[in-house]
Structure 1
């Protein structure tokens, strides 16, 4: 398919659900660049890291909930094409919020379909997932002829709900409008794991775990491979899919993409841990060396699933950390599954415009800059060691002999010989931490003023375990200043 890059976009009104997200914002900006009359970013959030830039570029940001029909009707009224990206439950704690997953992914998609038919929207591009056909069984160079994964066998509600929603979208292809002549044409894009500068789901969680030292093992063998897709390549595929739904192209009868699903990736299957290795190394985080077999990782994932299921009422609370791993995530990184984008190439003209090397280089540059601008620090193990040691010292020096305090006091007396010496040791330790905290605050005001308070509190707790990271940053700052 060879069309102008502005075909079906120029002078059109286009809606992107989930438009304030990572992919949605990139898509909105590209639609503006290609001459759209109006681009609407429909999102539950009023703000995101990209929202101000979108508004500055003329994107109309509409706050609303895709699970509420009136919000969807308002956003889609007068649109020529809709890109339905809004979804919920892809990873982490979200996976366990079963009701919200179905409410957004299934009910929300039904509302989008109804609004398209109500308002005469001709084109709907649905962003689906590999998980509609993958559920833990190896797939090598799969294609769109693969059947949907059995509904009852999905490892998580996200894959099941996206499968239901995709089938609803594709079966709605060709349905006539309710109030005027014409038909709705639909297609589905099935992207691989998405990466790029600013990606919100996969990489931030991996980087946070690596920073805390909680990325202790790889899952599966080194021969396990899966697909990734750079954000710009996915945006290109979405635009091409929208063009593939046009019904007014001379010499072409039925829209080529109508009712069709398409796998989209960079076309370079790779082991996930090898893929993220250069990124972790670039920011001085350790890549795990120990491997965990998939059955053992699944057992661990099920333990986390059970525990977090009991924590259901608090899943949306910020104080509850993300689970280390869940069963569906074990399959994603521990079982080979990659797909051919030949169908998208032949029917849509899709070819990745950014290579994996270029995409990872841009991603590394983003994360190195992000690390320079944020508070750095040690893994969780120094945190635990210092907090436990200071607590034990305080209990031994000042608390009465109750429960474990007796043991703490015995250990303290073994080293310090007297209660008085224990109390002096505790006071000196507290004074040292306060002094290091104040020094860190003063130093940070010169070399990292945006995080000065963070450096103070972190160093107040950890002492030199935190201060050494700030001293390293101060050294880098001095080198930059000299140059």
Structure 2
């Protein structure tokens, strides 16, 4: 298997970048193909520094473009598919989410079969399993329970369909007579330097005198650090390329978490930013049951207005459930079968993320200075 190559989709994204930084260290890897719709200039510069270790080809293109996907897969040994539209708050049109997350994944699977790419790893999400109800307490969920989301919200629904397609493609015959081996990884909320969601919370707080909004006081979740989630992808790639391990791992999905303490999203945001003077909003919030039914009413309003106006509610029942549930996952199966152990401790992950939050605070101060001069 000497001299192999790997295609990473969503390579310019929060997780994709981290996978590439770890991938360059892999043995006998000759080329990484990094596919994304666009690469920011500073990322191009960072990736160019990795060229000394391995050939890194940047491909700007869309996974909905079948020809682009075919070209990207040609002569590749493995695909790590992280590209996806992530939309927790239902801001993006449903068609866009389903197109990219489901159709884009199907395009890639078909291209792999045609180009005889034997390994396919899919970045799924914990949300394909739940939470389904804020009243239900799920702790250390594991793969044997076969949990499934009942929400029809575009993001979890599209990821569920895409994951299903990936696992069903395991065992497909390839054009050269080989076999396609697939697996899916289900991380929870991913935090770390560069997190778009965390950036949104911090940016909002900076404009609000350092007060963090509180949406999820009662939730208990286990977020995972981006470096650890990226590491799990590398281990899944090694396992699917290893003739001794592949038979156990093919067609499987794995929950990926780490040793970040179980806490609410609010507490995580506060922990990562309190050193810089941020505080949580102390005002009373509505009871969850009331917020849930208010979300339902907003959904009805949105539905009734839909023939004449696209009204996007500030929240809905799915968002209320997601932000207020006790839902944690266990990474024991990934530990057993992939040899997964977190690469970064909670202390290290916290320190790195806090430093990044500090840099955002400094940038904000500089911007304010510029405006006043």
Alignment TM-score, normalising by the size of structure 1: 0.68
Q: Which has the higher helix share?
A: 1
Q: Indicate conservation of the 8 Å contact 1:101/1:157, yes or no.
A: yes
Question: How many positions carry a matched residue from both structures?
Answer: 360
Structure 2: segments with no counterpart, 5+ residues: none
Matching residue of 1:172:
169
Within the alignment, does 1:294 sit opposite 2:288 as a pair?
Answer: yes
Within the alignment, does 1:22 sit opposite 2:22 as a pair?
Answer: no
Matching residue of 1:33:
25
1:136 pairs with 106, 128, 132, which one? 132
Matching residue of 2:349:
359
RMSD of aligned alpha carbons: 2.8
Q: Indicate conservation of the 8 Å contact 2:131/2:325, yes or no.
A: no
Q: Indicate conservation of the 8 Å contact 1:247/1:255, yes or no.
A: no
List structure 1 runs of 4+ shifted beyond 6 angstroms: 306-315
Matching residue of 1:349:
339
Q: Indicate conservation of the 8 Å contact 1:40/1:75, yes or no.
A: yes
Cα 1:175–1:155 shift into 2, 3 Å: closer
Q: Distance in 2 between matches of 1:313 and 1:247?
A: 55
Q: 1:91: how far off?
A: 2.6
Q: Distance in 1 between matches of 2:72 and 2:49?
A: 20
Q: 1:105: how far off?
A: 0.5
Q: Cα deviation per residue 1:261-304 (whole Å; 9 max; x = unaligned)?
A: 00001143222222221223223222123344322333454566
Q: Distance in 2 between matches of 1:313 and 1:56?
A: 51
Within the alignment, does 1:240 sit opposite 2:230 as a pair?
Answer: no
SS of match in other structure, 1:255: helix
Q: Indicate conservation of the 8 Å contact 2:75/2:115, yes or no.
A: yes
Cα 1:228–1:100 shift into 2, 3 Å: same
Within the alignment, does 1:455 sit opposite 2:372 as a pair?
Answer: yes
Q: Cα deviation per residue 1:143-180 (whole Å; 9 max; x = unaligned)?
A: 11233525xx3152110110011011001111111x21
SS of match in other structure, 2:344: coil
Larger relative contact order (CA 8 Å, sep ≥ 6): 2
Larger Rg: 1
Q: 1:349: how far off?
A: 0.6
1:45 pairs with 29, 38, 41, which one? 38
Q: How does 1:42-441 map to 2 (within 5 A)?
A: 42-47=35-40, 49-58=42-51, 59-94=56-91, 96-137=92-133, 138=136, 139-149=138-148, 153-154=150-151, 156-177=153-174, 179-200=175-196, 202-213=197-208, 215-221=212-218, 224-248=219-243, 252=244, 254-267=246-259, 268-289=261-282, 290-302=284-296, 325-374=315-364, 376=365
Q: Distance in 2 between matches of 1:44 and 1:323?
A: 28
SS of match in other structure, 2:113: helix
Alignment TM-score, normalising by the size of structure 2: 0.87
Q: How does 1:465-476 map to 2 (within 5 A)?
A: none
